[in-house]
Chains A and B, each alone.
Chain A
Amino acid sequence: MSETSESLVVAPVSPGRAKFLRFLIRDAGVLLALVLITLFFSLTAPYFATPGNALKIFVQIAINTVLAAGMTFVILTGGIDLSVGSVLALCTVVGATVMIDESLSPAVAITLALLACMATGAACGFLNGWISTRWKIPSFIVTLGMLNMAAGAARVVSDNSTITGLPQSFVDFGNLIIGGFLPSIFLVAVLVIAAGWFVLRFTVFGRMIFAVGTNDEAVRLSGHNPDFYKVAAFTISGLTAGIAAMVYLLRLNIGSPIAGVGYELNAIAAVIIGGTSLSGGKGSIIGTLVGACILQVLSTGLQLLGVGDNFKPIVIGLVIVLAVILDAYRERLLRRIR
């Protein structure tokens, strides 16, 4: 009973107030941080607070947001996926190869490319999950292996070259800015986040993801197969890597075997800054979106402030560490609130 009895209720925090405090500590904190950072750069960095710059940020966070959405599922189950960067590279060359097939009409080619990207990504993710659960190997190692394998496969598929010549309609859609403020690829990212949010919040599947991340043994003894949900989470992460590859093609218009280097780390950083716990079971995908925004706002803001490319990673690295420290404090605070 050691850690429980101190919270005996004599004068309990009312449920409503506790709920509000929980919201404030868990979710609003990150959002507040984003607002403050944005305000800071708006006041200090030239050109930061301009519509053009805002658009640029929206465009730039799209890929990372999509990757981080899938990563959130994996981290919520207590795993980690280091392979998404090179899975993305593999998917870009697969998608581009399909898309430039001249025997297909553009519409068919684009559709097939999208399906190919998602299937390739999902297959890689499934393998990650299946191998790590089947042989009880830490996902860190398995996905590290996949990182290398997918990078190699991307070179094999592309014959180690960049693939260009995507259909014009596809390129045009990538450059589209809906209503003058909403880049098409940012819309894709927001839709992926929305889908993830819906699944995690409202579905039985989403509930099980949280439960598995909280205590997979308890879930197993409650009559479920926790491995199913772990494999599913990795498959989703692979799937979003495939979607992110399409976003990459929309934005850069090339399929490249050397795309995506280091992307996995940005995705993980977004998830962690967004308040999802590395030990699983706690977090939110909305937080992930905010985390991705914080990363990009920092990066752009520092650049506009004239902080050199050498110093920028130092600052961003510090922010990531700070986020994890804050996470530890947040947990301690949350535990005290009934």
Chain B
Amino acid sequence: MDDVILSLEGVGKIFLGVVALSDVSLSIARGETHIVLGENGAGKSTLIKLLAGIYQPDTGAIAFNGQSYQPKTPHDAQLSGIRIVHQELNLLPYLSIAENLMLENLPRRAFGIVDRQALNRRAVALLKEVGLDVDPRTRVEALGVAQMQLVEIAKALSYDSKLLVLDEPTATLTPPEIGRLFAIIKRLKARGVTIIYISHRLHEVFEIGDRVTILRNGRLVATRDLHGLSVPDIVRMMIGRDIADEFGFDTSIVPGKVALSVTNLKRDAATPEISFNVRHGEILGVAGLVGSGRTEAMRALFGADPKLDGVVEIDGKPVAITAPKDAVRHGLSLLTEDRKGQGLLLDLAVDKNITITDLGKVSRHGLVNRRAEAGAANDLIGQLRVKASSIEQAVRNLSGGNQQKVVLAKWLFRGTSTLILDEPTRGVDIGARREIYQLLWMLAAAQKGIIMVSSDLPELMGMCHRIIVFSRNKIVGEVPRAEFDQERILSLAYQEYVRP
């Protein structure tokens, strides 16, 4: 390799006896877009945090631009010219875009007064560079996730970064937003910026990557040219085995009677009414752009947010749902899109997270029977193959996939008749993803109704009997499995946005 910008030599990191990264040696060429792949827990995040100056390596050495690179703080990393765009965005919601962009170096006039004109002028230039056409005085809270991501990238550019690390930038983006992001990445690459790109989504990395490094269990499996590799090749390296059929749609499961039907659900005066239903043993897909009202509709149905009007029927009988507890009592379950914020008790143990939905089952006279609780929790984590050191481990310390399984386990513990899943595989690695798919099939075979909201269209098309499509808060279409077609579903999703 001619010009190496970043090199790692035997880098390792151990946390209290737990090996997070071990003997990783890697060279990144100047100007390349280097993909890093690995399941959750493979060591990607640790690697990023070493580069970001959040952690320091226990073994090995890192060199950047030919010099030893030992950042003690994230600030050191930025000064060296390495900039990380984390998956959880670090913007200040109540400040303007321009202020966020130049927070660490606000242009000043005399007496430390912020020079607003210079600030906004520079911000416009930066935003133009990432193709974001928004007034820089807009407050960040008013932006969508995709736009925030672009602001983060623009922020990275404002420091004249030599190396940009993008940590799962597409996790929350819709396909057209991803397309735009990729165009920007290509533009940056053309300008000579080196990019390390971390992702879960295998299909997309071919479009932008030059080379790929695959991590597994904290070790480097291989670094290869992407050209000539196939998705199955990569999957094999990532998980150490083949995944023959990612979804495995089971045609033997025939949907039965209607389990849940929603008629004329109206969230508020401004949104249109929606109606849909799901049958026992059916997986109903819900497609649409982020912000198209999918999540909001599910939350209103579940009683998590108020609704104005509408009838919810379970097995043909109307039920009144004004709070989540009503929904749960009637056998509905909701796996929220925000797993950490709304699904889990992060600092509590696995077993306590599982039994929270129905403590009555493992208690008598108001006293928790710890043995019964442990038994139930152990059964479920065995069944779902949750990888935890024990049921007493805090959920915070589990990987994304295992956390999601714990959320599923808590609803299985309660016993559910209809399960609503909002982005169930977001931030979940490919191995756990497959296990979640299989579990959904099992539940469908057991005649549960399943509603699956997802931004991953191939996933919906692989899993569902039927897909309904949201566009600007409206259900604009319903597509049966026989007619699944990516373009048709996408054009439905855009339908209400392209009209004047």
Chain A residues with CB under 8 Å of chain B are 1-15, 18-19, 202-205, 207-208, 210-211, 214-215, 217-225, 281-282, 335-338
Contacts and interface: CB of A to CB of B under 8 A. Distances in A.
B403 interface: yes
B329 A207 contact: no
A195 to B, nearest CB: 14
Contacts of A215: 341-342, 344-346
A208 B348 CA distance: 11
Contact of B352 (A207, A224, A336): A207
B20 A19 contact: no
B42 interface: yes
A13 B325 contact: no
Interface string B15-58: 11111101000000000000000001111111011000001000
Nearest to B14: A11
B304 interface: yes
B224 interface: no
A3 B348 CA distance: 16
A121 B328 CA distance: 35
Interface SS of chain B: mixed
Contact of B414 (A18, A202, A223, A337): A223
B324 A223 contact: yes
Given A15-B390, A336-B15, A338-B389, A8 B399 contact: yes
A338 B343 contact: no
B232 interface: no
A336 B15 CA distance: 7
B323 interface: yes
A122 B366 CA distance: 21
A22 to B, nearest CB: 9
A2 B42 contact: no
B18 A221 contact: no
Contacts of B20: 5-8
Interface in B294-345: 302, 304, 323-325, 327-329, 334, 336, 341-345
A9 B394 CA distance: 14
A6 B328 CA distance: 35
A272 B44 CA distance: 37
A9 B360 CA distance: 33
B85 to A, nearest CB: 12
A220 B343 CA distance: 10
A104 B66 CA distance: 91
B185 interface: no
Contact of A11 (B19, B324, B334, B343): B19
A336 B88 CA distance: 20
10 contacts: A1-B45, A5-B399, A13-B389, A18-B389, A207-B368, A214-B345, A217-B341, A221-B334, A223-B414, A335-B397
Contacts of A210: 348, 352
Given A4-B399, A214-B347, A218-B343, A336 B390 contact: no
